Amino acid sequence: MSQGKIDVLGIGNAIVDVLARTDDSFLAKHELQKGGMVLIDAEGADRLYSEMGPAIEASGGSAANTIAGIAALGGKTGFIGRVANDQLGEVFTHGIRSLGVEYNTQKGNDGTPTARSFVLVTPDAERTMNTFLGSSQGLSVNDIDEDQVKRAKITYLEGYLWDPEDAKKAFLKAMEIAKSAGNKVALTLSDSFCVGRYRDEFIGLVENKVDILFANEDEIKSLYEVEDFEDAVKKVKAQAELIVLTRGEKGAVILKGLERFEVAAEKADVQDTTGAGDLYAAGFLYGYSQGYDMEKCGRIAAICAAEVISHVGARPEANLKELVDSKLS
C-beta of 56 vs 264, nearer to its own copies: 56
Structural contact between residues 52 and 98, judged by C-beta atoms closer than 8 angstroms? no
Q: Which of 317, 322, 326, 328 binds its own copies (CB under 8 A)?
A: 317
Q: Which of 15, 68, 129, 233 binds its own copies (CB under 8 A)?
A: 68
Q: Which of 30, 36, 49, 209 binds its own copies (CB under 8 A)?
A: 49
C-beta of 102 vs 191, nearer to its own copies: 102
Tell me the window of 34-42, 89-97, 203-211, 229-237 that interacts with its own copies (CB under 8 A).
89-97
Q: What are residue 73's DSSP bridge partners?
A: none
Applying CB under 8 A, does 58 fall inside the site for its own copies? yes
Distance CA(3)–CA(106), nearest Å, equals: 18
Applying CB under 8 A, does 59 fall inside the site for its own copies? yes
Applying CB under 8 A, does 191 fall inside the site for its own copies? no
Q: Which of 10, 108, 113, 275 binds its own copies (CB under 8 A)?
A: 113
Applying CB under 8 A, does 127 fall inside the site for its own copies? no
**What one-character-per-residue DSSP string does 189-217 give?**
---HHHHHHSHHHHHHHHHHT-SEEEEEH
Instruction: Give the Å distances, CA to CA, from 137 to 43, 92, 95, 221.
Output: 16, 15, 20, 28
Applying CB under 8 A, does 21 fall inside the site for its own copies? yes
Residue 45: partners with Cβ closer than 8 Å, 6 or more residues away: 116, 118, 130, 132
C-beta of 90 vs 145, nearer to its own copies: 90
Q: Minimum CB separation from its own copies for residue 65, in Å?
A: 11
Applying CB under 8 A, does 87 fall inside the site for its own copies? yes
Structural contact between residues 64 and 12, judged by C-beta atoms closer than 8 angstroms? yes
Strands 56-59 and 15-21: antiparallel
Strands, DSSP E only, in 217-308? 242-246, 252-256, 259-263
Distance CA(70)–CA(321), nearest Å, equals: 9
Spatial CA neighbour of 120 closest among 189, 34, 194, 58? 34
Applying CB under 8 A, does 95 fall inside the site for its own copies? yes
Q: Which of 28, 56, 141, 328 binds its own copies (CB under 8 A)?
A: 56
C-beta of 98 vs 142, nearer to its own copies: 98
Tell me the window of 56-64, 75-83, 224-232, 245-253 that interacts with its own copies (CB under 8 A).
56-64
